[in-house]
């Protein structure tokens, strides 16, 4: 199952709050990437928050995996999750309609 996870930073934090955990966070994310759990990861340009496309058995497993990240465990960030399915809108191109 493909899942989109978007990072939400907890309010009132500064960059100094993240520093003690940032290296371990990057190491864990890299390990998840190497293992094929994280397929793509980006930062949003406006908020500089992580957007992760991941593979998981189900939504609950995806939540459990990201809950182990140091920034989540230390209550600095949380994720909003969306289960993704294949886009079916192209079928409209092949349906006969009145013009």
**One pLDDT digit (tens) per residue for the chain, 99 residues:** 999 999 999 999 999 999 999 999 999 999 999 999 999 999 999 989 999 999 999 999 999 999 999 999 999 999 999 999 999 999 888 887 665
Three-class secondary structure of residue 26 per DSSP: helix
Contact 48, 41 (CB under 8 A): no
- What's the confidence (pLDDT) of residue 11? 95
> Does the structural domain 2-94 have CATH classification 3.30.70.1060?
yes
Its pTM stands at 0.88
φ and ψ at residue 55, rounded to 5 degrees: -110, 135
């Amino acid at each position: 199952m493909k899942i989109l996870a978007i990072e939400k930073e907890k309010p009132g934090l500064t960059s100094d709050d993240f520093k003690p955990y940032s290296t371990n966070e990057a190491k864990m994310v890299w390990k998840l990437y190497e293992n094929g759990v994280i397929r793509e990861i980006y930062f949003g340009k406006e908020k500089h928050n992580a957007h992760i496309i991941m593979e998981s058995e189900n939504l609950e497993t995806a939540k459990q995996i990201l809950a182990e990240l140091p920034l989540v465990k230390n209550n600095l960030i949380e994720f909003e999750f969306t289960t993704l399915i294949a886009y079916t809108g192209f079928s409209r191109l092949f349906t006969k309609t009145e013009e």
